[in-house]
Structure 1
Amino acid sequence: MNIKKKLKILVVSAEVVPFAKSGGLADVAGSLPLALARKGNDVRIAMPRYKEIEQTMHYITDFPVQMDWRKETCIVRGAEINAGSEKNTAAVPVYFIDSYHYFDREGMYCHLDDGERFAFMCKAVLEMLPKIDFQPDIIHCNDWHTGPITFLLKNKYGDNGFYKGIKTVFTIHNLQYQGNYPKDILKVFGIDDSFFTPHQLEFYGQFSFIKTGILYADVINAVSDTYAKEIQTKEYGELLEGVLEIREDDLYGIVNGIGYEHFNPRIDKLIYKNYDLENIEVKKENKENLQQEVGLPIKDVPVIGLIHRLVDQKGLDLIENVFDKLMKHDLQFIVLGLGDPYYETMFKKMQEKYPGQVATRIEFNEKLAHKIYAGSDIFLMPSRFEPCGLGQLISLKYGTIPIVRSVGGLADTIHEFDADTKTGNGFVFQKYSANEFLEAVERCLLVYNQKKDAWDYLVKSAISSDYSWDKQAEKYVDLFNVAVDKKK
């Protein structure tokens, strides 16, 4: 394997920071390409141009895309993300797949024709390549929206010499989101009915975007090593465990990194005051400012932060079951997020019941999220399942100690802290149990309240940890080379 070869890489994602975001997929798709570019690779990004994207961009080209019996115009627009560091001034081009018919509307997702919208994106991305004269070694497809690219490349475009050497890597960010649509969508793709079988594209009577990506990609990647193993089991496989077992030899797991250009208390412009190891005491000032902003008493008690989509996956029922017991401790609890109305109401009621201890903000607020990372002492992620998780990695960098369930990427990145041996970087529980979760919180509070030297060591160690994309990008380069070297 020639891992020193510089690669041409097209990263395709439905959302990319800083242009459009609904979750962690956007953070990954906006940060990994920058790290790959800093290593000298020719990296470019393709994504839809949603109506909400306001950044300045320029016209590149346009062309018709066959969608069933009609043609829809694709307009490709361009912009750049600066990937530079102090030693490198690389920029990553971004190609926006624009269509007035499919993307000139409010909201990225939850439209009745989402299947057709992302089918258009998949076809347009492939047809764009010769028109912009870019022949990548690798198309890195991310999550269900991009799965059909792997099939189309092999079965619809493979006879065209331009596409013959292109390989695909398909990354599963969350297997729960699958993109399953009625069989009629085959016509939109121009795919023959003969492919609609259980061994190929059919999935419980529907066409599955994610199954297609898994079956036809040259290499498959999950966003942590543990998650790659979990999704081959019935408990976490979301009915696709059999398909993943078939591809077991081509399935890898790479933990996500985070972009320290965005998440770094030393340079973060969104927090109250910057700090690092040299002036760690300033973290306390961030805490006091946070308490003031969210309306909690300014006092030296442990502040626990929770920043999540408020959905069942995040283990919020565990918090609900032990919340009254938690509130018997002298602590404060800050919640930020949107999601299931049940959990939104639950956290609002908690604030009403414990107004001096709980602050609930039901909103998406990137600025406040950074302030919570910086101002909290403890970060909660008691997830039912977690493919990778970014929150625990971000919290470490801000010296905010995570409490997690040992599942998916959380198991790969957070290990139980031992105050005597000074090993570990957080507090961990195994079983999906409210009592085990409460015990983990109480172990954490014990160290915070009674073992100050150990807590200070833990905080400094957390800030010093390195989960940067620059480190993880090297593993992606190796994985891309596995795909490049793979025989057809």
Structure 2
Amino acid sequence: MSPADLTDHVDTHHPLRSRSHLKPRILFATPEMSDFVKTGGLGEVAGSLPRALRRHYDVRVIIPGYRRVVERFDHIPVIAQLPGRAGVPPCDLGLVETSDGLQVYVILSAELYQRDGTPYGNAQGDFGDNDIRFARLSLAAAEIARGIDPAWAADLLHLNDWQAALAPAYLAWSGLRIPSILTVHNLAYQGVFPRESLGRLGVPEDAFQMDGVEFYGQISFLKAGLYYASHVTTVSETYAREITTPESGCGLDGLLRTRAAQGRLAGILNGIDESWDPRTDPHLSARFEIDDWKGKRANAETVRRRFGLAVSRGPLFAIVSRLVHQKGIDLSINAAESIVAEGGQLVVIGQGESRFEGALRDLARRHPASVGVHVGFEEADARRMFAGSDFLLMPSRFEPCGLAQMYAQRFGSLPIVHGTGGLADTVEDGVTGFTFGEASPRGFATAIRRAMDTFAQKKRLNAMRRHAMSRSFGWDKAALDYVSLYTRAIGNTPGLRLRAA
């Protein structure tokens, strides 16, 4: 069966699903959510997009019951028992509500989720049973679509990244077709596991083929989702085009070209929530608005003190990022010496690869008055850095969407970015920031030189700041794009002629 046919067979007899007057029910399945735990942009999106969609749909979220989730509540009511499958254990399903009324399913399995570290691993590396841990998330989403909660059954699954991508496959293997959207936040992370996992995940042997879950002799959760989901989205229009090419397709470009040819691949740009506003942000040392450069300078002074830098009238550059090769951290390290030599300063916050952490600490030791580094992450520090810096360095080799460049513009910090993915879609060269075409030291240095020249021209600098701060990156447009896609997916599925209220 081809991916285009996967919504042709649907259980239309479920009592909740057959009542066409109901507001459609959307289940948003995610491995992280900013309300509880986040490691990057996916957590931010999972905290914002479901809320933006609530005016149109009955939206619920499902997330694993990590320790930080469970400890937020005195009691989590159990509303169903989730059956196991092969080596995926059974567990309880809880339901909680956030302070603003968003309902969140919590998968309650201490053996799988209540561990130290990130959702995916600890200092020793990724957890060795991540295939089971996230198959459990996918199975739980599929069970909610099947109607295991007697009070609520999903009409559409919105699945995020490889950790939830087996859900449409589990439904297909059971003969039940519920429409599904898979959003790829970063194609480089695919959830690839040995073929030996096939049996314990409950994957049928006949699904281990090119038109299924097989990926170069292994199992790929993400490929399964790309194949079995009704529609695929990614988080910017440019990235949606890039991933259909061999250069950026991470071995999945052929399947993605097929999905694009079917009209089932789209790019929908992420947004940011209303908290990213320098007029109201409580984390800032001074709130400010367009043309209040005194307030912006007050935040710069706070940042310099926080990082132990000298008082300076030169430009302040910031990096707020995971410290990994994808983010072009090596390019930023290479550029730091010339920034300092020309009177600039650099502040860095983030964590990642030890080689980059060490190189940045070494920079700070050699230039203590000009370079400040904090390995880790503090929300308040990050926001003050966006507010106080003049320029944000973001030379990512690839960037599906990126949020930091949006945050920076809202706070009047001009991003210096490689023109790829969402960076190309959100930064206007010479107007709200600076872009360069080749992810190389030379291309990056040229863009930094342009920024330095602009800093010396205060009239032009302030005009660019005004343009940047005037940009709107809210969720309204993205929400409407998802409404259109959801309506199409549900409308193309027999028995699901539900309307958005």
Name the TM-score, length of structure 1 as normaliser: 0.91
Query: 1:401-420: per-residue Cα shift (whole Å, max 9, x none)?
Result: 10000001101111211xxx
Tell me what 1:76 maps to: 94
Tell me if 1:171 matches 2:183. yes
Tell me if 1:122 matches 2:135. no
- Asked if structure 2 preserves the Cα contact closer than 8 Å seen for 1:326 and 1:438, the reply is no
CA distance in structure 1 between the partners assigned to 2:88 and 2:344 by the alignment? 61
SS of the counterpart of 1:67?
A: coil
SS of the counterpart of 2:435?
A: strand
Query: 1:423-447: per-residue Cα shift (whole Å, max 9, x none)?
Result: x211010011111101101101111
- Aligned length in residues: 462
CA distance in structure 1 between the partners assigned to 2:286 and 2:310 by the alignment? 20
When the two chains are superposed, the root-mean-square deviation of aligned CA atoms in Å is 1.8
Structure 1 position 353, deviation (Å):
1.3
SS of the counterpart of 2:376?
A: coil
Matches for 1:183-202 after TM superposition, within 5 Å: 183-202=195-214
CA distance in structure 1 between the partners assigned to 2:87 and 2:447 by the alignment? 58
Tell me if 1:457 matches 2:474. no
Matches for 1:77-156 after TM superposition, within 5 Å: 77-80=95-98, 82=100, 91-107=101-117, 108-109=119-120, 110-128=126-144, 129-156=147-174
Tell me what 1:87 maps to: none
CA distance in structure 2 between the partners assigned to 1:70 and 1:438 by the alignment? 51
Tell me what 1:296 maps to: 309
Q: 1:431 aligns with which of 432, 438, 445?
A: 438
Tell me if 1:15 matches 2:32. yes
Structure 1 position 6, deviation (Å):
5.1
Distance change >3 Å, CA 10–CA 487, structure 1 → 2: closer
Tell me what 1:59 maps to: 77
Matched residue type, 2:78 = I
- Asked if structure 1 preserves the Cα contact closer than 8 Å seen for 2:339 and 2:345, the reply is no
Structure 1 position 365, deviation (Å):
1.5
* Bigger mean CA deviation after superposition, 263-272 or 57-66: 57-66
- Asked if structure 1 preserves the Cα contact closer than 8 Å seen for 2:336 and 2:346, the reply is no
- Asked if structure 1 preserves the Cα contact closer than 8 Å seen for 2:28 and 2:62, the reply is yes
Matches for 1:229-244 after TM superposition, within 5 Å: 229-244=241-256
CA distance in structure 1 between the partners assigned to 2:127 and 2:88 by the alignment? 20
Matches for 1:247-262 after TM superposition, within 5 Å: 247-248=259-260, 249-261=263-275
CA distance in structure 1 between the partners assigned to 2:350 and 2:81 by the alignment? 40
- Asked if structure 2 preserves the Cα contact closer than 8 Å seen for 1:255 and 1:472, the reply is yes
- Asked if structure 2 preserves the Cα contact closer than 8 Å seen for 1:7 and 1:42, the reply is yes
CA distance in structure 2 between the partners assigned to 1:411 and 1:226 by the alignment? 7
Q: Which has the higher contact order (CA 8 A, sep 6+)?
A: 2
Query: 1:255-291: per-residue Cα shift (whole Å, max 9, x none)?
Result: 1101123x22122122212222374431111111111
Q: Unaligned 5+ residue runs, structure 2?
A: 1-20, 121-125, 495-501
Tell me what 2:58 maps to: 42
- Asked if structure 2 preserves the Cα contact closer than 8 Å seen for 1:74 and 1:124, the reply is no
* Bigger mean CA deviation after superposition, 293-302 or 383-392: 293-302
CA distance in structure 1 between the partners assigned to 2:479 and 2:82 by the alignment? 35
CA distance in structure 2 between the partners assigned to 1:367 and 1:210 by the alignment? 34
Structure 1 position 49, deviation (Å):
1.1
Name the TM-score, length of structure 2 as normaliser: 0.89
Distance change >3 Å, CA 70–CA 116, structure 1 → 2: closer
Distance change >3 Å, CA 135–CA 208, structure 1 → 2: same
